[in-house]
Structure 1
C-alpha cells in the first residue's frame, strides 16, 4: 500500500511538472523599488501604462515600495526588433521624439480598425502594389536597429493608447501624395508631419 501511494504521488508530480503553465503563473512580475513609477516600469518592460494599471487594478498612480505588479503580455521580441528596424530606417537623423512618434504610428495602426491588428502585418501592408512604409519597399528595414530606435520602441509601448493617435507621417519636402497632405495634422517633429 505504501508503495502504491509513493508511485501515485510520483505520477501526479510528473503530470503537474509536464502540464502547461497557466498564463498567470507564467506572467512576469516586478517588485516596486523606491523611485519606481508606472511610466518607468512600463518603459522598462515595453508595456503600456494603461495596460499595466488595468492589469493590476490600479485607478491611481500610487505605488508602494515592495509591492509586486503583474506585467501583462506585450509584443514579442521579434515584433520589437521589426518595429525598431522600421523606426531606425524611417527616422534616421530625426530626434528621439521623432523616433518615438514613428513607433507610435505603427502601434496606433495596430489598435485602429482601419489597419491590420498586428505589427508585422501593419509594417508589411501593401496598397496598389506599394508598401505603406518605404523602408520595406527599398530593403532598408533589413538594417539592424540602433540603441536609440530600440529605446524609442520601449517608450512608444509605454505610451501606447495615449497621445494624439497619429496614424500617418510624412516628410512634406518629399511627399508626392496630395491625399496624405489633406489629413488632419496632429504634430510636427523634425522633418516629419504626423497626421490622422
Structure 2
C-alpha cells in the first residue's frame, strides 16, 4: 500500500510539475532582465512567449517560457573597442551618458554608453567616440547643448563598466529612444534588443 501511495504521489508531481524552462515573474522583473538572467536575447524570449503581446507589461506570478534550445543563436564575435581611450573621449562619452540617461538607473546609463561603443565598432558609423557623438542629427544633447555640462560620478562609473565587464550589456543595439516622448517614430519598426528603464534599444 505504501509503495502504491509513493507511485501515485510521483505520478501527481510529474503531472502538475512546472515546465523545466518556466520562470515565474517576481515583483520588479522585466522581460529584459529575465532575458539577461537566462542568457537569451529579448527577441528569443519574445518568440518563445507569443502570449505576451506587450513586452513592457508583465505581472508577478506570470509564467514565462525561457527555453531557447529550439531557437538558439550563436554568440556574435565582435572586435572590441580600443579601451585605451583618451581622458577627453571618456569625459565626452560620460557627458553624453549624463545628458541622455540622467534619470535612468546605472544599468540604463551603461546601456547608453554601450550603444555608442557599438556604433564605433559598426561599419555603419564613424570609428571614433567623438565622430559618433557629433555626427549630425544623432544625439539631442549635442543639438541642445546638454553635452557641454559636466558628467556626474555615476555616468563616469557607467562608462568604465561599459568599457570592461558590462561591454555586452546591449549587444547589437545601435539605437535607443524613449517611445513615450519621442517625436519621431522611425525606430518603432526596427528590431528591439533590450528594454531598460524608459529606453528601448534597437538594432
Q: Give the shorter-chain TM-score range.
A: 0.5 to 0.7
Aligned residue number for residue 150 of structure 2: 144
Aligned residue number for residue 160 of structure 2: 154
The structural deviation recorded for 1:174 is 1.3
Q: Structure with the greater relative contact order (CA < 8 A, sep ≥ 6): 1 or 2?
A: 1
Counterparts of 1:35-184 in structure 2, within 5 Å, are: 74-126=84-136, 131-158=137-164, 159-160=166-167, 163-184=170-191
Please, what is the CA RMSD of the aligned residues? 2.0
Aligned residue number for residue 189 of structure 1: 196
Higher relative helix content = 1
The structural deviation recorded for 1:91 is 0.2
Distance 1:168 1:104 in 2: 10
Change (3 A) 1:163 1:139: closer
SS of the aligned residue for 2:187 comes to helix
TM-superposition CA deviations, 1:148-172 (whole Å, max 9, x none): 0000000001133675221000000
CA contact (8 A) 2:173 2:201 kept: yes
The structural deviation recorded for 1:175 is 1.4
User: Structure 1: 5+ residue runs without aligned partners?
Assistant: 1-49, 52-71
TM-superposition CA deviations, 1:15-69 (whole Å, max 9, x none): xxxxxxxxxxxxxxxxxxxxxxxxxxxxxxxxxxx86xxxxxxxxxxxxxxxxxx
Distance 2:107 2:149 in 1: 21
Distance 1:95 1:163 in 2: 15
Farther-moved stretch of structure 1 (145-154 vs 73-82): 73-82
CA contact (8 A) 1:94 1:191 kept: yes
Distance 1:172 1:115 in 2: 23
SS of the aligned residue for 1:169 comes to strand
SS of the aligned residue for 2:103 comes to coil
The structural deviation recorded for 1:97 is 0.3
TM-score of the superposed pair, with normalisation by structure 1: 0.59
Distance 1:73 1:106 in 2: 13
Distance 1:86 1:189 in 2: 17
Change (3 A) 1:178 1:99: same
